[in-house]
Amino acid sequence: MFRCFLVVLSISGLNVIADHGHLRRIDFQSYEDSPTSGGCGIRSSRNILRRAYQGSYFYNIEGWPWVGSLRDHLNQHLCSAVLISQNIALTTASCFDYENDVEKGSLPVIAVFGSTDKRLIYAAYQHASPFDLTIHSGYRMHQDFKDDIAILHLHQPVKEFTSYVKPVCVNTITNELDMYTRCTLAGWGWMEDVRMPHDLQTVDISLSHPAVCESVYGVFNNASFLCVGATTKICSNDKGSPLICQENTGRWVLVGLSSYETTDCDFRPVGYTRISTYLDFIPSNGSAMIPISLTLTLMELVLMVFFVQ
């Protein structure tokens, strides 16, 4: 066990605890999924597209109300996350490189949902919450990105879903390539050769056969990853950005999480953590996981809001 303290406005801030002992189960709060109730994966019917730029699209938050921003203690966006229930969100384990980032003070400590602007820390329609973290035990930092997935257990569950904050459905099928034709990546990564955007943007994504990625990288782990290709250049992925596909019913389902990063602006296919492989991991929070608690006190959260306004 180790404990590390950072300072937020002269107050001890971030507690990082690794516990290999008894693991508690994260229980999902139920949420009605019928189309008539506006359940998971159903977004607002209002005009959600704001503008388009060189193959990427900027939306109002109602377009992607399940996408969240993971911030550090200074409100800096570090990664994306995706909401799947009132108290559970998913992201990639690679977002939490706690061997290096704890010393730098740049670990995410709060999840913010309900805004397309990654700079905002508070608005009436936002939901912000500290969280507990569970990283898949198979993940090995700086290696092959296998099992690159993590669960966020929100300290403050979403009490009521709105057009600004609601969950995405979780894909449960394993033949994604045959089932989904319309897929989208949403996040705050670089698109084309331009500066990192402040606003959430999306790009159309096509699922590719594993052989396509094998031809580029030599080896491709089809069990852990989906091979995908973009219709526009992606310069830098935003770790944890959700890869979402639309079913024939109109619902949007989570099929992957942005894992591989590329520093070149090109059309090369990349690997996304394959959600269908980790269905046992996501709901049960079983014994194959390492829980890490990232906590932020109420006073620190208040000061954080005051500091950035």
Q: Is the pLDDT of residue 7 over 90?
A: no
CB 268 within 8 A of CB 116: no
Which of these, 111, 30, 110, lies nearest to 66 by C-alpha position? 111
CB 228 within 8 A of CB 237: no
What's the CA gap between 82 and 76, in Å, rounded? 18
pLDDT tens readout for residues 125-152: 678 889 999 999 999 876 777 899 999 9
What's the CA gap between 87 and 6, in Å, rounded? 26
The residue that leads in pLDDT, 283 or 138, is 138
Identity of the amino acid at 235: C
Local structure of 168: helix, strand or coil: coil
Average pLDDT over residues 99-103: 49
Q: Is the pLDDT of residue 113 over 70?
A: yes
281 band by pLDDT with thresholds 50, 70 and 90: very high
Kindly report the average pLDDT of the chain as a whole number: 71
32 band by pLDDT with thresholds 50, 70 and 90: very low
44 band by pLDDT with thresholds 50, 70 and 90: confident
Average pLDDT over residues 22-27: 28
Stated as kind and residue range, the H or E segment containing 113 is strand 110-113
In the 8-state DSSP scheme, what is residue 167?
P
260 band by pLDDT with thresholds 50, 70 and 90: low
Q: Where are the beta strands (DSSP E) in 181-281?
A: 183-187, 190-191, 201-208, 225-230, 234-236, 242-246, 252-258, 270-274
Which of these, 179, 187, 184, lies nearest to 205 by C-alpha position? 184
Average pLDDT over residues 243-265: 84
In the 8-state DSSP scheme, what is residue 309?
-
pLDDT of residue 59: 54
- Give backbone dihedrals phi and psi of 239, rounded to 5 degrees, phi first: -55, 135
pLDDT tens readout for residues 168-191: 999 999 999 888 888 988 887 765
Q: How far is CA 139 from the centre of its chain?
A: 16
Lowest mean pLDDT among 26-35, 114-123, 275-284: 26-35
What's the CA gap between 285 and 117, in Å, rounded? 31
Percent of the chain with pLDDT over 70: 59
Percent of the chain with pLDDT over 90: 27
CB 232 within 8 A of CB 191: yes
The residue that leads in pLDDT, 262 or 135, is 135
CB-side neighbour CA atoms (13 Å) of 127: 28
Q: Is the pLDDT of residue 197 over 70?
A: no
Give me the residue label for tokens 């002269």. 10
pLDDT of residue 131: 92
The residue that leads in pLDDT, 34 or 74, is 74
First to last CA, the chain: 36
Give me the residue label for tokens 């406005």. 9
